[in-house]
């Protein structure tokens, strides 16, 4: 009796682990009976050739390409204010909320004109409205200031700053000298 239970347990275990193939039922290993393509293996392996190792050419020797950096210019020694810098923002921005407005201040850099906008953070279904940019001419002082007006009091905004006249990289893309605030709320 004990051997019979053991044989039944092994048969059930064999079916569970090997399915019908454990009983010898089915076409070939890896095939499904009654299915188109039955008898074909699931994975085809083709014999190939090893790729040859690269051989150095006898042409010009490789020269290192110059590193492209996005370093900020040295600050004016006459300007004593220290602006915080982060890796994500090239030009630091300080925003002061006012009645339906935001006063934006940033250090003068790059001999460039600037443009600023306050981007509303309210959810909008569909296409997002284009930001309305305010142009600010290049200045000569230590910092630049402008005020964005006509904003909704208590609404969330993020201020974007762009310096569009900062030149271009060798590949033609514009330098990305820009700044951004955190979320701010006009009074």
Q: Judge whether 171 lies within some domain.
A: yes
Domain region containing 7: 1-29
The whole-number average pLDDT for the span 142-155 is 95
**Beta-ladder partners of 178:** 162
Q: What are the residue ranges of helices labelled H in the chain?
A: 2-18
Rounded CA-CA distance 183/142 in Å is: 25
CATH number at residue 138: 2.60.40.10
Structure pTM? 0.57
For the chain, the domain total comes to 2
Q: Judge whether 22 lies within some domain.
A: yes
Residues 101, 179, single domain; the answer is yes
Q: How many residues does the chain have?
A: 187
90 band by pLDDT with thresholds 50, 70 and 90: confident
Highest mean pLDDT among 47-51, 83-87, 94-98: 94-98
Confirm if 39 and 31 have CB atoms less than 8 A apart.
yes
Q: Judge whether 51 lies within some domain.
A: no
Q: Judge whether 66 lies within some domain.
A: no
Q: Judge whether 85 lies within some domain.
A: no
Q: Judge whether 18 lies within some domain.
A: yes
**Closest among 146, 149, 129 to 138, alpha carbons compared:** 146
Residues 21, 99, single domain; the answer is no
Q: Judge whether 59 lies within some domain.
A: no
Residues 102, 25, single domain; the answer is no
């Amino acid at each position: 009796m004990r051997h019979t239970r053991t044989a039944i347990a092994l048969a059930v275990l064999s079916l569970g682990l090997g399915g019908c193939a454990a009983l010898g039922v089915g076409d070939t290993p890896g095939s499904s009976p009654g299915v188109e393509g039955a008898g074909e293996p699931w994975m085809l392996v083709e014999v190939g050739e090893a790729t040859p190792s690269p051989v150095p050419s006898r042409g010009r020797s490789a020269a290192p390409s110059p590193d492209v950096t996005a370093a900020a210019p040295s600050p004016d020694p006459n300007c004593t204010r220290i602006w915080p810098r982060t890796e994500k923002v090239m030009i630091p921005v300080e925003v002061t909320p006012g009645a339906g407005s935001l006063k934006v201040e940033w250090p003068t850099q790059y001999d460039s004109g600037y443009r600023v906008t306050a981007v509303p953070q309210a959810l909008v279904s569909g296409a997002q409205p284009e930001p309305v940019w305010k142009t600010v001419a290049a200045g000569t002082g230590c910092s630049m200031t402008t005020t964005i007006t006509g904003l909704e009091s208590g609404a969330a905004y993020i201020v974007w700053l762009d310096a569009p006249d900062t030149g271009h990289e060798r590949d033609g893309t514009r330098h990305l000298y820009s700044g951004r605030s955190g979320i701010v709320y006009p009074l």
